[in-house]
Amino acid sequence: MNTLYHYPLSPFSRKVRLSLGEKKIEVGLVEERYWEQDPDFLRRNPAAKVPVLKMGGRTMADSTAICEYLEEAHPVPALLPKDAVARYEARRLVGWFDDKFYHEVTVKLTGERVYRKVMGTGYPDSTNVKAGAKAIKYHLDYMAFLLEERRWLAGNEMTLADFSAAAQLSCLDYTSDVDWNRHEVVKDWYAKIKSRPAFRSLLADEVPGFQPSAQYADLDF
């Protein structure tokens, strides 16, 4: 049996869960409080981060490296386009959401509201929350700009870029930090991806002490 060590509101775990789900690769989920640096877990991944995937006797870390591996070892359905330029665009946007969006928005909103309390690193810092609330508007505008011209974020096919973005936004939606009324195209895009079978397990997630927002699991939000 394959195992994914994950944390429910880790966007990087979610990105890998979506890839696995879309490719119909079954995994057992093990929740890992990675910040506690359990020695067994550190042996699995010295970077001390989730996700970690155990598959076929192999232990793999780093969500981008895992997703690229899954593309190569389990190519159907493809989550990257065939053409090199289109693949570049999908990977550029994976980087955008995993790095820029994560640090500017997710860490500052879901991070301040949930990670801090769960990890015991103090109270939310209101300066960060304000900066995150401002930054998400810019990011939603950028997504709308892309989606005006394309069916999915990186082009007319669904790619890993959509999973990277949805992984981040679904964490923010859990903490009620997304204004879905800002852009109809973004809401429509999220509704499409949210209704995929691979998304179901994410919508069932719960972090004790933090209720998900009312619309979190609602496909008709």
- Given the rule CB under 8 A, which residues bind its own copies? 46-47, 49, 58, 60-62, 64-66, 68-69, 72-73, 84-85, 87-89, 91-92, 94-96, 99-100, 142
* Distance of closest approach, residue 146 Cβ to its own copies, in angstroms: 10
| Closer by beta carbon to its own copies, 76 or else 85 | 85
Residue 47: closest CA among 57, 26, 32, 25: 32
| Closer by beta carbon to its own copies, 12 or else 199 | 12
* Distance of closest approach, residue 158 Cβ to its own copies, in angstroms: 18
| Closer by beta carbon to its own copies, 27 or else 60 | 60
| Closer by beta carbon to its own copies, 122 or else 208 | 122
* Distance of closest approach, residue 84 Cβ to its own copies, in angstroms: 4
* Distance of closest approach, residue 90 Cβ to its own copies, in angstroms: 8
Q: What are 32's two structure tokens? A: 């890992």
* Distance of closest approach, residue 107 Cβ to its own copies, in angstroms: 11
| Closer by beta carbon to its own copies, 13 or else 175 | 13
